[in-house]
Amino acid sequence: MSLLPVDEAQARLLARAAPLAIEQVSLAEAAGRCLAEPLIAKRDQPWTPLSAMDGYAVRHADIPGPWTLIGEIAAGSLPPETPLAPGTTWRIFTGAPLPAGADTIVVQEDVEADGPVIRMTGDGPSGQGRHVRQRASDFAQGQSLLPAGTRLGPPQIALAALAGHGDLPVRARPRVAILSTGDELIAPGTPCPPGRLPASNGAMLRAMIERAGGIVITEQLVPDDLDTLTAAFAAARDADIVVTSGGASVGDHDLVRPALDAAGGTIDFWKIAMRPGKPLIVGSLGQAQFIGLPGNPVSAMVTGALFLLPLIRHLAGSSRPLPIPRTVPIDGAMPPTGKRAEFVRATMTDGVVTPLAFQDSAAMHAAAIANALIYRPINAEAADYGDFVSVYDWATLGLE
């Protein structure tokens, strides 16, 4: 099997599965979820012209006054029943509705009240309509505000509330089973005898999955034993995604493919034209999507960010599941690449990216002080100081 280019592998992976079922959630539970339908405004915002300042509602034609004060209008009240007569004004507060006929606000700093007579002392408003929020100037009832597939963050949740929604249709959160393979692994935090290694991929993948909107339903260490791994796979087949780390190469102890086969799963593709992370396995297991990540911690991080997280976002209903690179100059020199794309750990500050010297795919310290991956395509020429390269920062990768 030849090596698949990264973008082709991502496209094939996402084409394998449709977004999960739609469920209705309250705004309190909506953060990080993706809209299953467009967000439609149920009301005009504002519903009527409102004042944007504390001041006096006037007819622009009456400026510079003076005016006779009629009364007060606070936020939450209805507009006065009678229209504003020429030469009169209402004291008005931020968010309060304008009387009919008023079209401009004179801010309170610009006037002096002399009993019921209001005189302008400052410059006054710069034009008609100043400090007035027109009806539906933010959005109008029936307007489509956000497309389906939008990820709901704090601003989108606020918008939904203003648009009249208390709950929203979103896609279910993908349920993920994490199986870390390797006889050498022991649980983090337990004493580590010679020959053993604290397992780091499970904790890392859990953090990545949960931030991307997935739910970890199980996280286990599984020894390199065909029967045990097969049984673990069989038990995980009800998940939406089964992700493994390690055991994905061709060594005698690399049992993920044979165990997947023994558990009744299938492999769609295997091996990606990338460094780190070549031995990635994509397939299915029961109703679950199966992703086998390499065991080296940095390889698991990079392939997790480029394949597992996009799959989670896609199942969760995102219309933009893939990380988005930007183009920035490098402060360093990079050799040409060959038949594999390279994802180079780097630090980016002030729009300039610096490749880290130590690029071992097991070097987690270097990866943990990096904040970006430089993407070097297949057969890229050498890059020199000041050249522009493609960079994925930690935020777009889901590694923050």
Q: What is the largest CA-CA distance in the chain?
A: 94
* 199 DSSP 8-state letter: -
In 3D space, the residue among 43, 36, 41, 42 whose CA is nearest the CA of residue 168 turns out to be 36
Question: Could you tell me which residues come within 8 angstroms of residue 89 by beta carbon, excluding any fewer than 6 positions away?
Answer: 56, 57, 58, 65, 67, 68, 69, 70, 102, 106, 118
Q: Using CB under 5 A, which of 49, 246, 292, 297 touches Mg ion?
A: 246
Residue whose CB is less far from ligand AMP, 44 or 254? 254
Question: Given the DSSP bridges, would you call strands 241-245 and 175-181 parallel, antiparallel or unpaired?
Answer: parallel
Q: Helix or strand or coil: residue 349?
A: strand
Closest CB to ligand AMP among residues 148, 248: 248
**Least gap, CB of 360 to ligand AMP (angstroms):** 11
Residue among 92, 12, 30 nearest 57 (CA): 92
Q: Site residues for Mg ion, window 16-55 (CB under 5 A)?
A: none
Shortest spacing between CB 343 and ligand AMP, in angstroms: 17
Q: Which of residues 165-194 bind Mg ion (CB under 5 A)?
A: 182
The interface partner of residue 156, options being ligand AMP, Mg ion, none and the CB cut-off 5 to 8 Å by kind, is none
Measured from the CB atom, the residue of 16 and 206 that comes closer to ligand AMP is 206
User: Residues 267-296: x/- map of binding to Mg ion (CB under 5 A)?
Assistant: ----------------------------x-
Q: Considering beta carbons, is residue 93 or 269 the nearer one to ligand AMP?
A: 269
The bridge status of strand 274-275 relative to strand 341-349 is parallel
Torsion over CA of 255, 256, 259 and 264, rounded to 10 degrees? Answer: -160
Sign of the CA dihedral with 339 first, then 247, 252, and 358 last:
positive
Measured from the CB of residue 193, what is the shortest distance to ligand AMP in angstroms? 15
Closer to Mg ion by Cβ: residue 242 or 330: 242
Q: Taking CB within 5 to 8 Å according to partner kind, which of Mg ion, ligand AMP, none is near residue 332?
A: none
* Residues at the contact surface with ligand AMP, assessed by CB under 6 A: 180, 182, 184-185, 197, 199-202, 245-249, 294-297
54 binds, among ligand AMP, Mg ion, none (CB under 5 to 8 A by kind): none
Q: Is 214 or 295 the residue whose CB approaches Mg ion more closely?
A: 295
Smallest distance from Mg ion to CB 241, Å:
20
- 275's tokens: 């460094």
Closest alpha carbon to 215 in 316, 283, 303: 316
Share in percent of the chain as helix, strand, coil (round to 5): 20, 30, 45
The C-alpha angle with vertex 310 and arms to 172 and 392, in degrees rounded to 5, equals: 140
Q: Smallest distance from the beta carbon of 295 to Mg ion, in angstroms? A: 5
- In terms of CB distance, is 50 or 204 closer to ligand AMP? 204
Closest residue to ligand AMP: CB criterion? 295
249 binds, among Mg ion, ligand AMP, none (CB under 5 to 8 A by kind): ligand AMP
Residues that bind Mg ion (CB under 5 A): 182, 246-247, 295
